[in-house]
Chains A and B, each alone.
Chain A
Amino acid sequence: MNIVHVDELELIPVGDRGLQWRPVRSRFGISAFGTNAYTADVGDEIVEEHTEGTYQHEEMYVVLRGRATFTLDGEEVDAPAGTIVHLPDPGVRRSAVAAEPGTTVLAVGAKPGEAFQPSPWELGFRGAHMEPREAVAYVEEHMGEYPDAAATHYNLACFRALAGDPEGALGALERAAEMDSESVHKWGESDSDLDSIRDDPRFKELVG
């Protein structure tokens, strides 16, 4: 049955600011729009600071429980339970912090005018929470569900590098650079995940 209580969804820590991700889209295999829940305690991050510059998604956040303080292009917005924040402009820099214990927010996103495709960051967030070898296996198994994006291959390169597979990492990095060499330059420049292959001449060629 495709029925679950939001508190029963998997809880995956993301980053170092207390953000906890509860995957919804991948839990159900939703293919028409992106959607995820996030939980955080007072003062912790509940929406990671970002723009939608990469995926161009229109986003909507619904505060389900507790209270969040959103910061939208520098402006603070108080958002108690029942508040909906709608962000049609992908350029708006957005983030939110929980103002009450157990605050829970649902996010929904998709790109207007295009068929939805799942965002590859889901693989990166999930893999970052696993042992590197486990993350490699997970990404290899699930990358087919995501568009053939540079970010997917870049993530795979990171996890392979961390798992002690430099040849595999360089292969994935090369694939990522073929698709979007500019982003690979930007991401790879100071990413400590790739330190084990940084001195390889092929790395310098791919990342600069």
Chain B
Amino acid sequence: MTGWQVAKLDEIPRAGKRWIPIRKHFDGRAFGVNAWVAEAEGEDVIGEHIEEGTGHEELYLVVSGHATFTLDGEEVDAPTGTLVYLARTETKRKAVAREAGTTILSIGAKAGEAYEVQPWEVNAEMYPLYQAGDYEGAAALLRDAVQREPEPATYYNLACMEALAGHTEAAFEALTHAANEPRLREMAADDSDLESLKDDPRFTELLSPRS
């Protein structure tokens, strides 16, 4: 085991445009830690979510720029140096950048339990494959991930990779699991990764609002 590691936040390889997977970079084992970046003003830094799946308490820290958090509908101004702590997993949370380059650190773990690496972090391995056009490789990774942890957001990414790889049936199968979440149905409606599915009547059916 290496005794210590040092890295600058902006030198850690990003996964996708917004995500700096800090825990994964250092292979930390005691708590979850990531940073999220918005390239432009008005972009999401923290996408809207709850933590009921993970059961995590979360602490956010605006490390640069300026953000507006929305917590259960209430807006909070958050300049650099602001700490936001969310004990309740059901609080709906998001943050939007008010300046280009706004960066937010997030730390999370579940009280009363040993920390476990979260299955959604598989996306950090998926992004480079996706960006390189290796949709088969990306789909294989995510198929394995949903076997271990059937999370709707992972199914959503799997649907995208299957669609891009030309596996229409597998893509619909994955999308069925993702479409239970309103947020993912909305996302699917204008996601170009799912273009090849859009003329199929099943697509419209899956995306229609649920009662």
- Which A residues lie at the B interface, using CB under 8 A? 1-7, 9, 24, 28-33, 35, 57-58, 60, 62, 64-65, 70, 72-73, 77, 79-80, 82-89, 91-92, 94, 104, 106, 108-116
Give B31's nearest chain A residue, CB to CB.
A33
Report how far A108 CA is from B59 CA in the complex, Å.
Answer: 11
Q: Which of A58, A62, A73 is the one whose CB lies under 8 Å from B63?
A: A62
Interface-lining segment among B3-11, B145-153, B194-202: B3-11
CB-based contact A110/B109 at 8 Å: yes
CB-based contact B30/A58 at 8 Å: yes
Give A90's nearest chain B residue, CB to CB.
B3
Give B55's nearest chain A residue, CB to CB.
A32
Give A83's nearest chain B residue, CB to CB.
B8
- A35 / chain B contacts, CB cutoff of 8 Å: 59, 107
CB-based contact A2/B115 at 8 Å: no
- B59 / chain A contacts, CB cutoff of 8 Å: 24, 28, 30, 33, 35
CB-based contact A5/B79 at 8 Å: yes
Interface-lining segment among B21-29, B39-47, B185-193: B21-29
Interface string of B69-81 (1 = CB under 8 A from A): 1000000101101
- Of A28, A32, A92, chain B has the most CB atoms within 10 Å of the CB of A32
Check if B132 is an interface residue, CB within 8 A of chain A: no
Interface-lining segment among B82-90, B123-131, B164-172: B82-90
Report how far A114 CA is from B116 CA in the complex, Å.
Answer: 10
- B33 / chain A contacts, CB cutoff of 8 Å: 60, 108
Q: Which of B3, B7, B10, B85 is the one whose CB lies under 8 Å from A28?
A: B85
- A29 / chain B contacts, CB cutoff of 8 Å: 87
- B57 / chain A contacts, CB cutoff of 8 Å: 30-33
- B31 / chain A contacts, CB cutoff of 8 Å: 32-33, 58, 108, 110
The verdict on A112 contacting B6 (CB below 8 Å), with A4-B83, A5-B83 known, is no
Total count of chain B residues near the partner, CB < 8 A? 46
Closest Cβ–Cβ distance, residue B27 to chain A (whole Å): 8
Give B86's nearest chain A residue, CB to CB.
A2
CB-based contact B111/A89 at 8 Å: no
Report how far A64 CA is from B5 CA in the complex, Å.
Answer: 17
CB-based contact A86/B30 at 8 Å: no
CB-based contact A89/B4 at 8 Å: yes
CB-based contact A88/B29 at 8 Å: yes
- A57 / chain B contacts, CB cutoff of 8 Å: 30
CB-based contact B30/A91 at 8 Å: no
The verdict on A92 contacting B4 (CB below 8 Å), with A28-B59, A60-B28 known, is yes
Q: Which of A3, A70, A111 is the one whose CB lies under 8 Å from B83?
A: A3
**What would be 19 A-B contacts, judged by CB atoms less than 8 Å apart?**
A3-B76, A3-B85, A7-B81, A28-B59, A28-B83, A31-B112, A32-B56, A32-B110, A60-B28, A79-B6, A84-B8, A88-B4, A88-B26, A89-B1, A112-B115, A113-B114, A115-B111, A115-B113, A116-B111
Q: Which of B10, B112, B115 is the one whose CB lies under 8 Å from A110?
A: B115
Closest Cβ–Cβ distance, residue B24 to chain A (whole Å): 12
CB-based contact A30/B81 at 8 Å: no
CB-based contact A5/B10 at 8 Å: no
- Of B4, B8, B22, B111, chain A has the most CB atoms within 10 Å of the CB of B4
